Structure 1
């Protein structure tokens, strides 16, 4: 058969196959900010998502938050092609309890194609009799001041409106004036409605008010004057948001330059007439609904029908092209000439918003990109480690992901856009991250152990400047006390953003603590039902630049792959302010660690010390020498640890951000536990914190930081549990924190304390536990030491301690046997009650730690003492004492024994 004859029927078959089956694929992520009628032409769609180049017009669909949106497809043929376009009504993104969404400026729509019926706008020609009465709505709101709401105003999971327009008080020198326009106002008759939203911040003493009914007084009184005419004063109690609606004749309003004056009056306290009631009110927004004349040239935005829903719409349209009305009911109403400069439209139900637009005034989205990450909806394998990074930081985090893969972990690296697309319909919100972890925990082939968030967060996504002390933080009492921590000058980020939203690379959740909302990454790992305890270990790199990621990655890889042997691996530092409770708690934790052979040095503030240089020097020197852990408990803040009595005039009681930057500890990196108020509020848009600085410092600082994001009362019991879990042999710091949090019943501490750093890090604590026994020889007391190894060659560091933990003497010995005897130095024989021993063998990379009390026996026989010592001395090496990291590489450990 000739080849042409064979190919001819095949060509016919191929021609019958719909091209869309192979050419129409993929989805388009569309972002917009303002409400309006939007359009996208074929060329713009294909430029951003080539997969949609050749789709059937009927197959196109548009969705918002997973729901179908009616489309108007303007196409010349059956296929969506060059010159065609889509049109739709785009909505502003609102928060569940606010006009402006707290986590995202832009709303997201997704465009795709598939066979089947899809939502379309229905076209309606003008018809109907009469003339409907029209209405317009104007919402006026500014996000100027942020307040922190405590647990009585906000419950976990709620997203109240914490951004306010203005703060009004009884001591304001001038009342607050709001000027506004009401375009297209029909003032000839009818009523207008003004809705005002307020929140009280202050409260008068309830106990006083309850003692005497004659002393009744409201917490808040607000006097209002509109265009020179007083309105009814508003009164209420409490700190919840209140919304008051004022109904007035439309004739009292103007199309331009209305003036609303708000004033909090001074009021005497009934029980103390010489005193003035403290009254602080936050003004949130004004929303006006008013009769509209129907003049589309007024550029007043959406219209709606107030009455006569069955009547035709007649609008003044000007001399140009008459606009169509796009209705939120899914109907596109076309114009019909009804006289000079007037057009009629089909009737609309009452309350349905109608948006006028012509082809020339159709809005364009602010951003387009392909939808990412379809492979993460249902992967064929599970992952131990989820890394969620901002796209600009993906390359910088890859070396850490590769390193963990080499250690045996399965690692998935996701860009945050993919997480938004697949787990929150493309919208920026921390819920997307939690949905991802929830899906991975419950539905993926295996459960994740770790989540690392690579990118900083910001609670301010709408402003370019931010003055921390000027914000209305009523619940932050510290900022109200003159000369307290709130007045301490802080430090701004080295790479200050041009826009504060630029730091919001990976958003965090806000937990409502007793002192206000606080950044909480804990929520992402708490995916086991309704339990707020985490099951997945969460860490964060609070950075914005790839170079900052690289600095942390380099420190982390070096820490895990090139262990720095030395006594620093068993040394811990306890820092406390002058509060005796915190010092006693530190002593208790240090004592428990001492029984395992760890050595603690303490930097405790004393009320009688007027200069703090000695404390700062001790912290610097200790960290520079190397410490496994640094634990601070006491009073502190974003920039500081208090290490002496407060005296801000001299600024001599603080360990600050600058002190962190002056460290020189190199590769001997501690994990820092900062158990104090907001020493790591990583969601602050401009101000750096001591916790973040410790982690971000290149080639020094800390390997990880565990610290709070807002005000709290540190718990010694919580510290004890965290440290105990961290020092379990082979424990990863993230899973240790998870176990400690699971033991806690204090939700504030569980939610507020976050891990900055890699949760898969294993602390460089000594690998083995040596056995030390006191040999109470009357003439030559000493300590018998067994390293539990078959051979040993290295250095042994020995510290002799007094009963209170004071170091009396230290020495270093070169040892070539796994069992040896250390004589008690004569100089401390009468004082030393404890010994701490650290042994390291550089050739094998193995080290061990231990100690014992130097407790004199109650005079056993010489034979019994000798026999006990002999048995201890010659017992065989005990391989069961060896501890390996759960995910360690044995390259530097030497052969397993």
Structure 2
């Protein structure tokens, strides 16, 4: 997943100041403690100047640099403060430290490259970088080369592993190889720089691929046109190839790895992803692009000589402990075609050294003055409902909070970025919300939060890879990605936001309202405030539409729907069946019947069958394009879908049915229970039964409570389960369904027809023809 250059979305976020408000007037530090957030996205020496602090809104004339202290991820970081002795931070003074991009697990690094350093001003001083004399004696022979690794990887294609053999959590790949019958062999070349390899030793090459098809594969690998691998392998899995690069084949500068995919006999097509190539080699002690880093290979003392410098002004650091580096001073410098530096250390094996020309020292990727966030940790009062959102959606989020308050809930809006900074050390990750919610349960006054609204959309392209294929869209509240789906692999798992102890059994009721802008946000809030939570007194509120696909080998979708109708539907609710090939003979009539039923008004819509994010019934049934034609203003149903991927909201440029129907202004749904992953009918049906039992027999009509209780009961019977993770509420968790309609203390007598005729309703326009279904769904839909 490592990519050497900043991505488009990273640059956009950093340019926006990470959504942090900058102060218009410089802040004076007279007697107060200031806290500055500093973002770093690449390893190396970082320098902060008075101008940087001015840009962050701080007046450097009012601060004492002797009070500077820095930390990162809870650990103190040693800094060098040039010119601090006079107690002033003048022009020409600077702060210098060794910064690292975010280094975490493969899963955590998907969210961000940015590591965050916190500079406090006006409090106790932090540690400083010590100077260590490194003057050479010229009595030791410097080593000629050292062990180095080049890791070449780009991220252009997204694919989540369905099988984990060998295990991997990789989901981004450099390229794809797709041979087929008329082009049985495909080769792509992948280039990267290899600085100064020695010429008299062989090196080790590693290449990782991942097959999307369950067939026999043939792979060829060449390094600088020297064929090294011609191998066959099989199955839908990851494969790692190793090969020896002969001495003299690698060159200093750009090297190429050419990878081929060739069809095996009897195979008509293949689909293989290339992840990376890596070269472990021996490198000469020469600077590359103004820097070099290496590790001592045995205990010292040693003298190291490094040439290739454009100037003698070079920072030399011992970064064996990157939080507490040592600055090596007084090296010997020798002029020639390039400058050579020589220094002496008494080092231990594994000690890490970093050298960087002063001209290559960069400033921070982002810097902002961070106001105190004490109210997040110690508020005056608690809150029943927490709304997590971004600053751009605050007006609509506050409208939603007002709606909560009007119905007796205390509600509070918090910004996702504030939670990241206060509860995850500034590292961008959904766990910041979980950390915050965990804190509230023990540290906040009553009432403790019971409901959580994720008020904003998000997707998995956090770093803006390949925007031509995966459009750049807002990430207001990110999806919590997890490898929970046994087929799809990695899926959005908002359940983890509410699972405070990570045991697979959530503690809080949570819903997502996946809006991208104020227009969408206000449209959803408008529907919520207009929704009748009291009683099913209008006729349309007593209609429940049941839609079923037809594929007997996979499941009896119609039979499962009849099971719900016959055993769980309240007496005042009339079922209307739309069963493919049973009540309706062709797909066009199915689509029209769905549109007619929703536009006429219905309390509930349930669907069981095949699905993908944007279509039902294997791409030929109801779709997001059909949602656009809905006109059921004021009559908003609850959707419940028991299929595959109907709620997969995190694919850029490919909105799901669940989110599209909720966002539809003056039409669509009021909420949806929908899966973000795949599902087996044999497991979805018991979950569906439990949900209907909770809502209609136990009379738990508040949506968040109903889904939470369903998940907890399912957990009691099955333990940790993918459906608990993937079944998601799209909507507000405090929304309450209206109760049954009573007349003279009894349900109104309504004749229930097992297969009623279509409802009497005004003539509706026929649905327009729509585009053919996509040919490459996330996975073969269930």
Cα pair distance change 1:263/1:617, threshold 3 Å: closer
Q: Does 1:723 align with 2:692?
A: yes
- State the partner residue of 2:109: 101
Q: 5+ residue gaps in structure 2?
A: 1-26, 762-782
Cα pair distance change 1:328/1:636, threshold 3 Å: same
- State the partner residue of 1:25: 33
Greater shift, 49-58 or 400-409, is seen at: 49-58
Q: Does 1:632 align with 2:590?
A: no
Distance 2:280 2:759 in 1: 82
Kindly state the Cα deviation for residue 21 of structure 1 after the two structures are TM-superposed: 9.3
Distance 1:630 1:554 in 2: 21
Give the 3-state SS of the residue equivalent to 2:459 in structure 1.
coil
Give the 3-state SS of the residue equivalent to 1:453 in structure 2.
strand
Task: Map 1:570-609 onto structure 2 (within 5 A).
Answer: 570-579=542-551, 581-594=556-569, 596-606=571-581
Q: Does 1:519 align with 2:486?
A: no
Q: Does 1:225 align with 2:212?
A: no
Cα pair distance change 1:560/1:54, threshold 3 Å: farther
Alpha-carbon displacement from aligned partner over 1:445-464 (angstroms, at most 9, x marks no partner):
34321100111111122336
Contact 1:660 1:693 in 2 (8 A): yes
Task: Map 1:433-582 onto structure 2 (within 5 A).
Answer: 433-446=433-446, 447-463=448-464, 465=466, 499-500=472-473, 502-503=474-475, 505-516=477-488, 517-527=490-500, 529-560=501-532, 565-579=537-551, 581-582=556-557
Give the 3-state SS of the residue equivalent to 2:186 in structure 1.
coil
Q: Does 1:124 align with 2:132?
A: yes
Contact 1:628 1:765 in 2 (8 A): no
Distance 1:245 1:462 in 2: 30
Kindly state the Cα deviation for residue 279 of structure 1 after the two structures are TM-superposed: 7.2
Cα pair distance change 1:321/1:599, threshold 3 Å: same
Alpha-carbon displacement from aligned partner over 1:493-514 (angstroms, at most 9, x marks no partner):
xxx95x25x3464332324211
Distance 1:312 1:718 in 2: 68
Contact 1:177 1:260 in 2 (8 A): yes
Q: Does 1:263 align with 2:236?
A: no
Task: Map 1:307-318 onto structure 2 (within 5 A).
Answer: 309-316=300-307, 318=309
Give the 3-state SS of the residue equivalent to 1:196 in structure 2.
strand
Contact 1:455 1:505 in 2 (8 A): yes
Kindly state the Cα deviation for residue 351 of structure 1 after the two structures are TM-superposed: 4.5
Contact 2:543 2:603 in 1 (8 A): yes
Kindly state the Cα deviation for residue 110 of structure 1 after the two structures are TM-superposed: 1.8
Q: Does 1:800 align with 2:751?
A: yes
Give the 3-state SS of the residue equivalent to 2:106 in structure 1.
coil
Kindly state the Cα deviation for residue 74 of structure 1 after the two structures are TM-superposed: 1.4
Give the 3-state SS of the residue equivalent to 1:355 in structure 2.
strand
Distance 2:328 2:201 in 1: 26
Q: Does 1:758 align with 2:746?
A: no
Cα pair distance change 1:609/1:411, threshold 3 Å: closer
- State the partner residue of 1:60: 68
Q: Does 1:85 align with 2:76?
A: no
- State the partner residue of 1:196: 207
Match for residue 616 of structure 1 among 580, 591, 608: 591
Q: Which has the higher contact order (CA 8 A, sep 6+)?
A: 2
Kindly state the Cα deviation for residue 142 of structure 1 after the two structures are TM-superposed: 0.7
- State the partner residue of 2:707: 737
Contact 1:151 1:513 in 2 (8 A): no
Distance 1:127 1:689 in 2: 64
Structure of higher CA gyration radius: 1
Cα pair distance change 1:615/1:798, threshold 3 Å: farther
Kindly state the Cα deviation for residue 401 of structure 1 after the two structures are TM-superposed: 0.5
Kindly state the Cα deviation for residue 41 of structure 1 after the two structures are TM-superposed: 1.3
Contact 1:457 1:682 in 2 (8 A): yes
Kindly state the Cα deviation for residue 312 of structure 1 after the two structures are TM-superposed: 1.8
Task: Map 1:199-348 onto structure 2 (within 5 A).
Answer: 199-201=210-212, 222-231=219-228, 241=238, 246=243, 248=245, 251-264=248-261, 275=266, 281-296=272-287, 298-299=289-290, 301-306=292-297, 309-316=300-307, 318=309, 320-329=311-320, 330-340=325-335, 341-347=339-345
Greater shift, 562-571 or 513-522, is seen at: 562-571
Distance 2:221 2:166 in 1: 28
Give the 3-state SS of the residue equivalent to 2:419 in structure 1.
helix
Task: Map 1:345-364 onto structure 2 (within 5 A).
Answer: 345-347=343-345, 349-364=348-363
Q: Does 1:375 align with 2:375?
A: yes
Kindly state the Cα deviation for residue 429 of structure 1 after the two structures are TM-superposed: 0.8
Kindly state the Cα deviation for residue 629 of structure 1 after the two structures are TM-superposed: 1.0
Cα pair distance change 1:334/1:194, threshold 3 Å: farther
Give the 3-state SS of the residue equivalent to 1:618 in structure 2.
helix
Contact 1:570 1:765 in 2 (8 A): no
Distance 1:764 1:53 in 2: 63
Kindly state the Cα deviation for residue 416 of structure 1 after the two structures are TM-superposed: 0.6
Alpha-carbon displacement from aligned partner over 1:10-57 (angstroms, at most 9, x marks no partner):
xxxxxxxxx999634132222222222111113322542539875543
Distance 2:433 2:42 in 1: 26
Give the 3-state SS of the residue equivalent to 1:257 in structure 2.
strand
Q: 5+ residue gaps in structure 1?
A: 1-18, 205-218, 269-274, 469-495, 771-785, 789-795, 812-897
Contact 1:386 1:451 in 2 (8 A): yes
Give the 3-state SS of the residue equivalent to 1:251 in structure 2.
coil
Contact 2:211 2:236 in 1 (8 A): yes
Contact 2:647 2:674 in 1 (8 A): yes
Kindly state the Cα deviation for residue 669 of structure 1 after the two structures are TM-superposed: 0.9
- State the partner residue of 1:425: 425
Cα pair distance change 1:629/1:381, threshold 3 Å: same
Contact 1:303 1:353 in 2 (8 A): yes
Distance 2:423 2:759 in 1: 60
Distance 1:151 1:242 in 2: 12
Q: Work out the number of aligned pairs and report it.
A: 706
Contact 1:195 1:288 in 2 (8 A): yes
Alpha-carbon displacement from aligned partner over 1:421-455 (angstroms, at most 9, x marks no partner):
11111111111112122222344334321100111
Kindly state the Cα deviation for residue 126 of structure 1 after the two structures are TM-superposed: 2.5
- State the partner residue of 2:172: 163
Kindly state the Cα deviation for residue 242 of structure 1 after the two structures are TM-superposed: 5.6
Q: Does 1:187 align with 2:198?
A: yes
TM-score by length of 1: 0.72
- State the partner residue of 1:10: none
TM-score by length of 2: 0.82
- State the partner residue of 1:787: 745
Alpha-carbon displacement from aligned partner over 1:735-788 (angstroms, at most 9, x marks no partner):
11111111214512111111111111011334x645xxxxxxxxxxxxxxx337
- State the partner residue of 1:749: 723
- Where has structure 1 moved over 6 Å in runs of 4 or more? 234-240, 561-564, 807-811
Alpha-carbon displacement from aligned partner over 1:827-866 (angstroms, at most 9, x marks no partner):
xxxxxxxxxxxxxxxxxxxxxxxxxxxxxxxxxxxxxxxx
Q: Calculate the aligned-residue CA RMSD, in Å.
A: 3.5
- State the partner residue of 1:662: 629
Task: Map 1:791-870 onto structure 2 (within 5 A).
Answer: 799-802=750-753, 804=754, 806=756
Distance 1:381 1:741 in 2: 30
Distance 1:798 1:616 in 2: 31
Contact 2:388 2:415 in 1 (8 A): yes
Distance 2:271 2:690 in 1: 42
Alpha-carbon displacement from aligned partner over 1:104-143 (angstroms, at most 9, x marks no partner):
1322222224755633322223224422344444321111
Distance 2:459 2:166 in 1: 20
